């Protein structure tokens, strides 16, 4: 076989392999997108340390967008949400839901007359010290796991169900 024929054959085989690899990889991306779309799982990257130690800065997390189609967030759930004017999604832990009573008094956050955590910073335009607030339907009071450093419902108020993206899947 002549050298020029071998070169043409080699180039043809390499081109064929290149096309096969491109098609195979493209179908993998399509399949993985299809699976993610079907399972309603989306991923986000954690930014900040307010949810440590369970969720670490720069860690990738999965969020089940379908978790609350048949049910509502429960106490202890970590939810992903995004306010209308915010750039990025946020994750926090649900500590009070519909019907629960929240109060900031004597330097403490109280939920259903139970002393929970030191109140830390709070927005006195939203929460008046000593006044009780009953959580309305489809609203959630959320806290950072690192409540002494994180911003949460004490600063920006309640999270509405319409802002909830889904339930953060834990390890």
Q: Put the strands of the sheet holding 60-64 in their side by side order.
A: 41-45, 60-64, 164-168, 78-81, 90-96, 139-143, 159-160
What is the rounded CA–CA span in Å between residue 17 and residue 28? 16
Q: How far is CA 101 from the centre of its chain?
A: 25
Quickly list DSSP for 115-140: EEEE--S--TTT--TT-EEEPPTTEE
For residue 13, report the phi and psi dihedrals to the nearest 5 degrees: -65, -45
pLDDT tens, 65-85? 999 999 999 999 999 999 998
Instruction: Place 104 in a pLDDT band, splitting at 50, 70 and 90.
Output: very high
Instruction: Output the CA torsion sign for 50, 52, 57, 63.
Output: negative
pTM score, whole prediction: 0.76
8 Å CB contact between 98 and 111: no
- The pLDDT tens digits for 116-160 are 999 999 999 999 999 999 999 999 999 999 988 889 999 999 999
3-state secondary structure of 143: strand
**pLDDT higher than 80, residue 169:** yes
**What torsion, rounded to 10 degrees, do the Cα atoms 31, 33, 34, 39 define?**
120
Please compute Rg for the chain using Cα positions: 25
Contact 66, 169 (CB under 8 A): no
Q: Which residues neighbour 132 within 8 Å (Cβ) at sequence distance 6 or greater?
A: 101, 102, 103
| CATH assignment of 41-168, among 3.90.550.10, 3.40.50.300, 3.40.720.10, 2.10.109.10 | 2.10.109.10
């Amino acid at each position: 076989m002549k050298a020029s024929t071998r070169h043409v054959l080699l180039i043809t085989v390499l081109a064929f392999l290149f096309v096969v690899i491109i098609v195979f990889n493209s179908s993998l991306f399509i399949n993985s997108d299809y699976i993610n779309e079907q399972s309603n799982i989306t991923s986000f990257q954690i930014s900040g340390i307010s949810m440590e130690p369970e969720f670490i800065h720069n860690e990738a997390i999965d969020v089940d967008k379908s978790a609350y189609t048949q049910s509502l967030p429960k106490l202890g759930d970590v939810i992903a949400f995004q306010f209308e004017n915010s750039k990025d999604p946020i994750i926090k832990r649900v500590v009070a839901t519909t019907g629960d009573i929240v109060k900031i008094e004597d330097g403490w956050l109280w939920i259903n007359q139970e002393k929970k955590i030191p109140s830390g910073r709070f927005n006195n335009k939203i929460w008046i010290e000593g006044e009780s607030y009953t959580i309305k339907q489809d609203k959630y009071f959320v806290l950072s796991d690192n409540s002494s450093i994180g911003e949460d419902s004490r600063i920006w108020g309640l999270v509405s169900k319409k802002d909830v993206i889904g339930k953060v899947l834990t390890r």
